[in-house]
Structures are given as C-alpha cells and as structure tokens.
C-alpha cells in the first residue's frame, strides 16, 4: 500500500504499469543516509558517452534515468515541523499562497498522470508518472504543514479530468518553469533573511530541488517530443506551445480572477512569485537584485546535472533581457560615488 495516498489519489491506477517507489528502508532515518540521498538528487551524469541529440534513444534513456536516479525517498510523514514563535507563525499563516499551493499540486498530479497515461513509450510514461507521484507527495507535505501550523484553507475544488491531456500537461509544465524560477530566488531570499527557522527551510529544501528536477524533465520531454514529430504535427505543437505561453502570461498579469468559497471574486495568488519578495524578508529589495538572485539560484540548482541534457530556457532568457533593460534605471537609482 502506498503510504502517500493522503486522499485516495493513486497514480498507479491512472498510469498503466506504474509502480510507486518502494517504501524507504529504516536506514534512511539515519542522518548520513538522508544526506547521501540529498546529494544524489542534486548531481547526475549519464554514463553514456557522446552527445545526446534531442529525440534520440540515448536522449530519452538519459532523461528517464536521470529522473529515477535522482529520486529522493524522503517521507512527509516523518518530516519535522519545528515549533514556531508567535510572530513567525503569524507571518507564515498570512502568506497568501497556501490555497493556491495545495490546489496547484493537486492539479499538477492529475494532469501529469493523465498525460503520462496517454504515452505509448514506457520509459517516458514511467518518468512522467513518477513526476505525478512526487506532486502527490508535495501535496502531502503541504497538507501536513498546514495541519501542523493551523493554516485555514479554502475548500479545495476538485480539479476536472483534463479533456485534452497534452494541453493540460503543457500548461502545468510551463507554469512550473515560471513559478519554480521565481520560487528559487524567493526561497533563497527567505533563507538569507533569517525570518524563518532553519529547520523549516531545511524541510522545504528537497521540495525546491524536486521542482528543479521536474522542470529539467519537462524541458527534456518537450525537446524529445518535438524532435520526433512530423513537420505538420510539429507546426501544430509549436502553435500550442505559443498559445500556452499566451495563456500563462494572461493568467500572471492578473487578469485571471477566481471565485472564493463565499462567492466573492478575488485576485488569484498566482502573482505571488513576482510580488512576494516583501513577505519573505524585512528589507526592501530592488527588482534587478531579485531577478539576478533568481537567475543565479536557477543556475546553481541546475549546475549538478549532466550538461548534455536540455534546460528550461525561456524564463532565464527573458530575465536576462529584463536585467539588461533595467540596467540604466538601476544605475540611476544608485547613490553617488
Ligand atoms: Fe510540486
Ligand atoms: Fe513539480
């Protein structure tokens, strides 16, 4: 029985052939074994020699093996939720992210499992199913944290089974590419601020690195998938990808509204990744500094993985462009001398 079935969601029933990872051995409770698993999840080199051209069998094998070899068997049930002093607890409870975070993980696990179930290629199907399983585990981590600190959640709408699994997977994958990029920077900002207990930062660190693995898998799935399409199907796929970016941009510039349980329209918390810097530290941070931090954290988190694998490139490229455009303003804002 998979112990992570907090609410009955079972990837194994949705994706043919998928077996949840085995329950970690008791030895994992020992600090050294945990540390070794943590190191393994951050560093990976393919034993295959030579290039890994997107779409090739070698590329597919390296992508899927990376995802399995870097799996971290931590168990949410044994995670430590440190005692918080009242101001810290109040700060955490008031972060406007908990509803959307829990719901996003719920949507991600469903959409990833739905798309994985449509794949005929068994290695890629299994890797995407494991990703769905890890989203399920993220949901469990969040649910346990929310319960430990008494965070009140809005009733969670049940996400619908996607009618178009490829579209839903693309939306989820590119959303993760955007959100993870900014979350890396915000997480580091929170860590440096000292406003959150080190034990809590440590608990979420593997979850952050897992999101890095997820977008690494997504970037390589996308490269593998598009390289195998015929000209016309590729054209259709690129049009879909452009439509997904347009949809996500529309969602993130705040046009999307949601209706809460009381029936009142409220802004979605999707923009937290862009506007939440003030909530995780007590000093002002200038936008160029925040963007530069996101960029360097993104590079640091990806640095341990085989350089022949593809990386998500759109958000880092746009950020570099934004930093170039912001440079004159940054200079003007500096004190003389
Ligand atoms: Fe997640
Ligand atoms: Fe993820």
220-229 tens-digit pLDDT: 999 999 999 9
Classify the C-alpha dihedral 102-108-113-114 as positive or negative. Answer: positive
R_g over Cα of the chain = 20
Query: Which residue has tokens 């960029």?
Result: 295
In angstroms, what is the span from residue 104 Cα to ligand 2's centroid? 9
Report d(CA 215, CA 213) in Å as an integer: 6
> How many Å lie between the centroid of ligand 1 and the Cα of residue 169?
13
- pLDDT tens, position by position, 2-41: 555 557 789 999 999 999 888 766 555 567 777 888 999 9
Question: What 8-state DSSP symbol labels residue 257?
Answer: E
* Closest ligand relative to 215 C-alpha: 2
Global pTM value:
0.89
- Nearest ligand, CA 175: 2
Picking from 48-57, 97-106, 238-247, 301-310, which range would have the lowest pLDDT averaged per residue?
Answer: 97-106
Q: How far is the CA of 307 from the centre of ligand 1 (A)?
A: 24
Burial 62-96 (b: 16+ CB within 10 A, else e): bbbbbbeebbbebebeebeeeebeeebeeebeeee
* Ligand nearest the Cα atom of residue 112: 2
Q: How many residues does the chain have?
A: 337
DSSP assigned state of 279: G
């Amino acid at each position: 029985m998979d112990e992570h079935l907090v609410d009955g969601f079972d990837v194994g029933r949705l994706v043919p052939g998928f077996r949840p990872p085995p329950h970690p051995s008791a030895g994992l409770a020992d600090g050294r074994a945990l540390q070794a698993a943590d190191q393994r999840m951050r560093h990976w080199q393919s034993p295959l020699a030579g290039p890994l051209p997107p779409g090739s069998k070698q590329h597919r094998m390296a992508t899927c093996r990376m995802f399995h070899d870097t799996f971290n068997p931590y168990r949410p049930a044994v995670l430590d939720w440190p005692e918080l002093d009242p101001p810290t607890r109040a700060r955490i409870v008031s972060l406007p992210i908990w509803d959307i975070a829990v719901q996003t993980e719920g949507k991600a696990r469903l959409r990833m499992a739905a798309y994985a179930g449509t794949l005929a290629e068994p290695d890629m199907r299994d890797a995407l199913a494991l990703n769905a399983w890890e989203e399920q585990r993220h949901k469990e981590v969040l649910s346990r944290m929310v319960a430990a600190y008494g965070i009140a959640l809005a009733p969670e709408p049940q996400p619908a089974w996607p009618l178009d699994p490829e579209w839903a997977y693309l939306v989820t994958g590119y959303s993760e590419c955007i959100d993870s990029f900014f979350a890396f920077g915000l997480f580091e900002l929170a860590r440096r601020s000292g406003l959150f207990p080190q034990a809590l930062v440590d608990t979420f660190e593997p979850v952050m690195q897992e999101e890095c693995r997820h977008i690494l898998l997504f970037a390589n799935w996308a490269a593998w998938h598009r390289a195998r399409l015929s000209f016309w199907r590729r054209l259709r796929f690129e049009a879909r990808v452009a439509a997904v970016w347009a949809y996500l941009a529309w969602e993130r510039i705040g046009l999307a509204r949601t209706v809460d349980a009381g029936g009142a329209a409220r802004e979605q918390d999707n923009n937290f990744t862009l506007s939440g810097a003030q909530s995780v530290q007590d000093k002002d941070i200038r936008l160029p500094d925040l963007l530069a931090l996101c960029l360097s954290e993104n590079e640091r988190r990806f640095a341990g993985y085989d350089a022949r694998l593809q990386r998500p490139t759109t958000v880092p490229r746009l950020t570099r462009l934004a930093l170039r455009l912001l440079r004159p303003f940054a200079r003007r804002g500096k004190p003389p001398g």
